Copies of this chain bind each other. A is one copy, B any other.
Amino acid sequence: MTHQREIILAELKKSTDHPTADELYERIKRQLPRISLATVYRNLEILSTAGMIRKLEISGRQKRFDWDLREHHHISCLRCQRVDNIELEVQEMLPAQAEDRQGYDISGWRVEFFGLCPKCRKDTNNSQGEETMACAPKGLSDNQRQVLEALAKSKEACGSKDIAAATSLEAKQVSCQITALKKKGFVESPIRCKYTITPEGQGALGE
């Protein structure tokens, strides 16, 4: 039990959520600024192999860790990724009836619920339109920035050929980038084949 391992375990026990390795890493760095992410991973692995903590396998996302060794299952929020414990009634304990299903020798099972946590439920009710903002993509590639800047300069909607002329790009490249920019919400098409920059696009340029 090294110093780092103690700190990692203590930090996990302190947490009420079910943190991921890198969430823990961020918290631990305050005490051990020189620790590496690999060390956190390694020690969490060692601790869970030793049965001192549990590694949670939540569908398709980063693994999370739990200091609570009691047999229990989890529910997770589809929006904010929060993970909570869930209590199962006795009649919901499946494995008793599950022995030797389809010829398998069953050694474990897991049930997982998902939905919206109380907080996210409230947020959804209050404001519906803002979601698109929240999940909008971020960065601009070089080409995308060029196209966007050209559009910003133009007073009126213009076609991809105009943009190609204004930049050093070919028409094909422009068309390709406009598609990407439309998807990000930075460009819109008031009429077919003519494009303008959106306020969001202006904002993205400013950054």
Report A's interface with B, CB cutoff 8 A.
57, 59-60, 63, 75, 77-78, 84, 86-87, 89, 91-92, 94-95, 97-98, 101-118, 121
Contacts and interface: CB of A to CB of B under 8 A. Distances in A.
Contact of A106 (B63, B87, B115): B115
Copies in the complex: 2
A87 B206 CA distance: 55
B101 A78 contact: no
A107 B117 CA distance: 11
A104 B92 contact: no
B109 A109 contact: no
A115 B111 contact: no
B89 A104 contact: no
Contacts of A118: 102-104
A116 B94 contact: no
A84, A107, A109 — most chain B CB neighbours (10 Å): A109
A110 B101 CA distance: 17
Contact of A63 (B60, B78, B86): B60
